[in-house]
Amino acid sequence: MYDKVEWKVTLNGLEGEANHMSHLGEFFAPRSVAIIGASKTPGKIGYSIITNVIKSGYTGHVYPINPKEPEIMGLPCYKSVLDIPDEVELAVIAVPASLVMAVADECGRKGIKGLVTITAGFKEVGGEGTQREHDLVELCHRYGMRMVGPNCLGIMDTHTPINLSFAAGFPNKGEIAFVSQSGALLASILDWSLENGLGFSKFVSLGNKADLTEADFIQDAAEDEYTKVILAYIEDVKGGARFCEVAGRVSRKKPVIILKSGTSQAGAQAASSHTGALAGSDLAYDTAFKQTGVMRARTMEELFSLAMAFATQPVPAGDRVAIVTNSGGPGIVATDAVEAAGLKMARFTKETLETLRANLPSEANIYDPVDLIGDATAERYKFALETVLGDENTDSVLVLLTPTGVLDTDRAAEVVVGARAQFPDKPILAAFMGGRNTEKAARYLQDNGVPTSTFPEPSIRAIQGLAAFARHREEPEAGAVTTFDDVDRDRVRQIFEAVRQDGRRVLLGSEASEVAAAYGIPVARSVLTTGPEAAVRAAQSLGLPVVMKVASPKILHKSDVGGVKVGLDTPVKVRRGFIDILDSVANYLPNIQPHGVEVQQMMPGGGTELIIGMSKDMQFGPLIMFGLGGIYVNLFKDVSFRLAGRLSRKEIEDMIGETKAQTLLRGYRGKKPADIGAVVDAVGRIAQLVRDFPEVTELDVNPLIVYEKGVQEVPLTALDVKITIS
Amino acid sequence: MYDKVEWKVTLNGLEGEANHMSHLGEFFAPRSVAIIGASKTPGKIGYSIITNVIKSGYTGHVYPINPKEPEIMGLPCYKSVLDIPDEVELAVIAVPASLVMAVADECGRKGIKGLVTITAGFKEVGGEGTQREHDLVELCHRYGMRMVGPNCLGIMDTHTPINLSFAAGFPNKGEIAFVSQSGALLASILDWSLENGLGFSKFVSLGNKADLTEADFIQDAAEDEYTKVILAYIEDVKGGARFCEVAGRVSRKKPVIILKSGTSQAGAQAASSHTGALAGSDLAYDTAFKQTGVMRARTMEELFSLAMAFATQPVPAGDRVAIVTNSGGPGIVATDAVEAAGLKMARFTKETLETLRANLPSEANIYDPVDLIGDATAERYKFALETVLGDENTDSVLVLLTPTGVLDTDRAAEVVVGARAQFPDKPILAAFMGGRNTEKAARYLQDNGVPTSTFPEPSIRAIQGLAAFARHREEPEAGAVTTFDDVDRDRVRQIFEAVRQDGRRVLLGSEASEVAAAYGIPVARSVLTTGPEAAVRAAQSLGLPVVMKVASPKILHKSDVGGVKVGLDTPVKVRRGFIDILDSVANYLPNIQPHGVEVQQMMPGGGTELIIGMSKDMQFGPLIMFGLGGIYVNLFKDVSFRLAGRLSRKEIEDMIGETKAQTLLRGYRGKKPADIGAVVDAVGRIAQLVRDFPEVTELDVNPLIVYEKGVQEVPLTALDVKITIS
């Protein structure tokens, strides 16, 4: 590649404005760039960078900075950016870590707008590296500079063009922006892409993400007219809220496809709440991606086959796939893949079927998958492709081909490329199943905008991605976050304060119930009592029968220690219950001093038991869980999650819809429907509570009993609320 | 390929015995073969076959048969096999369909042992083709001939060598036997394999499977010393019982990997039983494969990457994977894939960790995944590979590489191949992530027995397959099918006969319960009554309270029409109940004449509701379903399946273990454990019932109530049994 590219640095500056200016224009289309640490010595990073920028065909000013050299690569070399007579927009820093602060300071004084800090030895080494990174970011902010890195491979833009990296190569021009948290992976993909016909608009190595993050580059790529699809490899997200805001907006405009690694559950530590236990470390990402419309690639192959499809194909109108093949077996394999992907086989119109029947051999199958049979020629493919592509019930097409003695494979590839041009609104992908006899044709297809695989399944996966984006783009926006005015923030604040005063982090049941009640969740009324007579009085005021539970934030499974009694319907039983509970607990847990016994209203049976819970993620904040509650929570794990920060009414409805609990709520097997609107409200109120009080670290409402509509006075009641604060 | 192969037909016969004789030796290593329909005209199938057999290097006698030619390809040509002076072992038939019977008859008279019938126009065209196929098979059996096809591409054996097909090519010699129901797919794979370093021992195109089926060729490949792994693409199985017998036996010896297409659920028609509704059309295959140890490939890529791994790698001792990489990102991606595949990361010994720490740079990660960092050389790879391969806690290794300026990729490939030779007992796979800079090295790896992919995930999937086979091979055999002597076959026969006499196929509840009881399943006793007074007498003899249900095989959901009443505890209520039930049913379903009302013993509450059911598969016979019963069967779908024909005690325990019902049976949240042995027995008894009575087409025992151990007199009781017979 390099050998063919002429060195065409124009020292007179840019030949015209960069016409695809994105909001990080100073990085991708700078008028001038200083390479601090440029070197004449092959093998050095500073050598690679200066040669890369020159070879890339960049037409702006390039200023090598190296105190020891008068010129590098024929360009005058400066001791410092401060010595450059003209304005400089961007600087690439590739000096030892100990010198970075000094040169960055000079960049700031020079009025440079952006830094690409290649140098390693910052946060990734810990200790003083972390401090150095902190200082560097502070310095940047002081001067109003933005920074990529440190500890990165650099950045590239093929349309400017500019290569500000030390990678061994420059990608082909294309419409895929690729952002990677791993520099090595970026370099690998670059090398791979040069052999596989994949082109890129931008390559960004994020490095330590000390300043600019994935969100910034997703935002930038969204605005870049040369970018059709945004790809990222990340190991974490920096700034969950901003990421969600940007990704949620951008993903409706351009596909955002992310491979997030580190899905291992090893980090999901034991948690005391149900919600915490069910929310693995990777779940917050899955939830955030789903809620923001980010397409999550599960493998690297998937990441790039999706990218290729989006870069070359139009977005289909729907999910109906037509398959055209010259052999039955592969047609069945592809049909299986269509069903497995949740796509639909096309149902052709009567006209299409008649046309196919009239023109294909009688042994051919005219229904989808269309089987042109073993003696099919390229012309038969042409006829069939044009016919099914012309059908209004076809949204996209997969062309399957097995090499035969009678088929001119190269001509068949031309036919497919012809159809690509003739039907610009429908995706066409191909699987040419062979090696020796199909290689040239497959290469021709790839080079002419038809993604081609050896086997049918990856093509169908790509069509699935295209159809999913089409659907996502058309979906109504999630809408505003649900909020309620009738909440008593002050009361909650008081309760939390009292708990803290008491030296506790875990609320008593009665306290937690009051918090829920303050946010408008109907709760079974509960009184904390410290003696048998008080318990009887409480029971009489609540109304018999009652439930009694030991009050202690230290006992997680109260039933297991004889700490719960239900259905106590006389003062005698209540009095006896109080004593028995404390006796039993003292017996099981002699070292625990309960706060007393809670006497709770006993709610009528017959409802559906739900759970609403909250788990906290470092990056994305509170996640709300909804699902089937009671003792079967952990057995059936029938739960769904959403980020509390973005929880609209529509999203609450969606999350309920993802569970089997919804089937029960709608009235299952003879039961009447429950008031689902009241359940939606309850979820929204809990979300608001945890948004309003970030000190809530864990929360479970379980069970929340929901009754058949109209059967009880209130549509639902929380029987047990657990809250932990920080 | 062809250009390089010399034509070396030795007309003097085989040069020594074929030393890999399998039980279908006449097909894969015949001493002599007649090509009936051989042709001199390029483009004709008969031309392709005769040239293929000659070019393949076959050393036995080849006799072209064509009444119009005196010689073909320098070989004397005969008008009929009857004219050949010597013995002929095998004949390939490639004449028009109308002539096949005549030439096959001549083959029989000649004493030929095997036919490969290439000719199409048989069952696949329907009508007289079906009859023709039937006649052909009958003729073969009359003469004691076996047959491949008709309507097939032919067969090949690379070790004999012999190519009896009209495919355009001959595979490289290898250790993979590939059996395909699609000729086109076989041809595609052949073409593809020539470019991808995959070698095969045998290629078999099954065609219509009129005589020899996949089971025969799996059996044959199992006995073939050149075959290490058996691969099949099938669209259905012919003869489920024999397939299971063969596959179950072979899969413990050699890996049997099958891509079964046609998984579409379109064929799963609405069924009246729960079991029928939950058992999709593909489920029988899934179940049969699981029960026989067949590895099911989900995509074509998976099929061949598994094949490649098994052909080149040893079977690992366990599932602990060590990863050696020169960059972090891809290491994390691979680690994710390891966890997703259910494999484990290796935990190195103290010695290994110390050796790595002493010899690797301090920034390197010495724990799995071992990160040699960006400046790793091939020699560092060599050291690390030898160290981790030498660790007793490493079962297999994935070598990850991203191209860098300091790494000699080709040398690294040599290092990997060296390790392959040095550690013959541990699988080594590679992912060289690049294109231009890794292509040569990747090719070298492939050519030297190290399966190599561009991205890590497919390699991990292949290791998962290797580890699964290792595990399967070590598992104890499933054991004998459970049988019980204390069953009353005669009583069941009488009941079925009476139902048939009554012109019904669906048993009444009382009849079905009696059938279950005859097979030793405790049932809630039930009496069919036709008047209110009889109902009262029945209730009194059963003991109050009772359950009453309308008796009618035509009413599927009795509750919905007011046809069920529970807890009737006085004669007055029973009498009233009888009348109310019939009134209500008459009101809802005026055209149905119930048989009466069933009065059933009311069983105590508090048990776990299970379901045992049966669904019938065309190929594999009865499938037994077990799971959580009651009204939530369809909501939670917590069920597992096994083929009744092979159901051992161990397999019943396994199928219970696959469900959440097991968690409940073991005693969940304060409940005591149930008698799981009694549940195993019940499943075994139902399996025996449906094996003994093939006329049972549908069966549901739901709910089967299982009590906490020791709480009730019997450990379990069937409350409702539904049986349909043919």
**Nearest residue to B504 (alpha-carbon basis) of B495, B514, B515:** B495
A570-580, pLDDT tens digit by residue? Answer: 999 999 999 99
Task: Annotate B219-283 with DSSP letters as a single string.
Answer: HHHHH-TT-SEEEEEES--S-HHHHHHHHHHHTTTS-EEEEE----GGG----SSHHHHHS-TTH
Query: What's the confidence (pLDDT) of residue B264?
Result: 61
| CATH 1.10.1040.10 for the B525-602 domain, yes or no | no
Query: What's the confidence (pLDDT) of residue A455?
Result: 94
Chain B hits for A189, CB-CB cut-off 8 Å, are 433
B64-74, pLDDT tens digit by residue? Answer: 999 999 999 99
Asked if B502 is an interface residue toward chain A (Cβ–Cβ < 8 A), one would say: no
Query: What's the confidence (pLDDT) of residue A197?
Result: 80
Residues of chain B with CATH 3.40.50.720: 21-308
Q: Say which residue, B23 or B391, is predicted with more confidence.
A: B391
By C-alpha distance, the chain B residue nearest A630 is B669
A214-241, pLDDT tens digit by residue? Answer: 999 999 999 999 999 999 999 989 899 9
Which B residues, 571 through 630, put their C-beta within 8 Å of a C-beta on chain A?
none
By C-alpha distance, the chain B residue nearest A263 is B336
Residues of chain B with CATH 3.40.50.261: 313-474
Q: Which of A148-152, B261-265, B351-355, B550-554 has the lowest mean pLDDT?
A: B261-265
Residue A293 identity (one-letter amino acid): G
Domain spanning A2-308 has what CATH number? 3.40.50.720
Query: What's the confidence (pLDDT) of residue A646?
Result: 85
Asked if B305 is an interface residue toward chain A (Cβ–Cβ < 8 A), one would say: no
B20-39, pLDDT tens digit by residue? Answer: 455 798 999 999 999 999 99
Look at residue A15 and tell me whether its pLDDT is greater than 60: no
Residues of chain A with CATH 3.30.470.20: 608-725
Look at residue A3 and tell me whether its pLDDT is greater than 90: no
Look at residue B195 and tell me whether its pLDDT is greater than 90: no
pLDDT band at B341 (very low <50, low <70, confident <90, very high): very high
Which B residues, 638 through 667, put their C-beta within 8 Å of a C-beta on chain A?
638, 660, 663-664
Whole-angstrom Cα distance, residue B205 to residue A306? 34
By C-alpha distance, the chain A residue nearest B638 is A636
The secondary structure element, H or E, covering residue B680 is helix B676-692
> What is the pLDDT averaged over residues B104-118?
97
Minimal C-alpha gap between B635 and chain A (Å): 7
CB contact under 8 A, B403 and A187: yes
Asked if B299 is an interface residue toward chain A (Cβ–Cβ < 8 A), one would say: yes
Which pTM does this prediction carry? Answer: 0.90
Q: Which of A623-627, B636-640, B708-712 has the lowest mean pLDDT?
A: B708-712
Query: What's the confidence (pLDDT) of residue A271?
Result: 39
The CATH class that applies to domain B313-474 reads alpha beta
Using CB atoms, which residue from A169, A339, A438 is nearest to B191? A438
**Nearest residue to A205 (alpha-carbon basis) of A8, A45, A42:** A45
Residues of chain A with CATH 3.30.1490.20: 525-602
Mutation target to probe the A interface, by most A beta carbons within 10 A, among B51, B185, B188, B668 is B188
Chain B hits for A332, CB-CB cut-off 8 Å, are 235, 261-262
Euclidean distance between the first and the last CA atom of chain B, given in angstroms as a whole number? 58
By C-alpha distance, the chain A residue nearest B559 is A670
Using CB atoms, which residue from B196, B434, B456 is nearest to A435? B196
Q: Which of A121-135, A151-165, A482-496 has the lowest mean pLDDT?
A: A121-135
CB contact under 8 A, B180 and A329: yes
CB contact under 8 A, B188 and A434: yes
Burial code of A307-335, b = ≥16 C-beta within 10 A, e = fewer? bbbbbbbbbbebbbbbbbbbbbbbbbbbb
HSE, side-chain direction, 13 A CA sphere, residue A664: 22
pLDDT band at B207 (very low <50, low <70, confident <90, very high): very high
pLDDT band at B464 (very low <50, low <70, confident <90, very high): very high
> What is the pLDDT averaged over residues A28-39?
97
> What is the pLDDT averaged over residues B621-650?
91
- β B452-453/B370-371 pair status: unpaired
Per cent of chain A over pLDDT 90 is 80
* Cα dist from A654 to A251, A291, A659, B611, whole Å: 19, 10, 9, 31
The secondary structure element, H or E, covering residue A165 is strand A162-165
CB pairs < 8 Å spanning A and B: 192
A314-474: CATH topology: Rossmann fold (3.40.50)
Look at residue B279 and tell me whether its pLDDT is greater than 60: no
Chain B hits for A374, CB-CB cut-off 8 Å, are 184
Asked if B454 is an interface residue toward chain A (Cβ–Cβ < 8 A), one would say: yes
Query: What's the confidence (pLDDT) of residue B315?
Result: 97
Chain A hits for B265, CB-CB cut-off 8 Å, are 339
Task: Tell me if B431 sits within 8 A of B398, measured CB to CB.
Answer: yes
Look at residue A467 and tell me whether its pLDDT is greater than 50: yes
Domain spanning B608-725 has what CATH number? 3.30.470.20
Query: What's the confidence (pLDDT) of residue B503?
Result: 93
Asked if A184 is an interface residue toward chain B (Cβ–Cβ < 8 A), one would say: yes
Instruction: Return mean pLDDT, chain A.
Output: 91
Asked if B121 is an interface residue toward chain A (Cβ–Cβ < 8 A), one would say: no
| CATH 3.40.50.2000 for the B21-308 domain, yes or no | no
Residues of chain A with CATH 3.40.50.261: 314-474
**Nearest residue to B588 (alpha-carbon basis) of B553, B624, B561, B560:** B561
- β A75-76/B146-148 pair status: unpaired
Task: Tell me if B265 sits within 8 A of B255, measured CB to CB.
Answer: no
CB contact under 8 A, B184 and A327: yes
> What is the pLDDT averaged over residues B251-262?
94
Query: What's the confidence (pLDDT) of residue B168?
Result: 87
- β B154-157/B90-93 pair status: unpaired
Using CB atoms, which residue from A192, A300, A631 is nearest to B435? A192
Minimal C-alpha gap between A108 and chain B (Å): 31
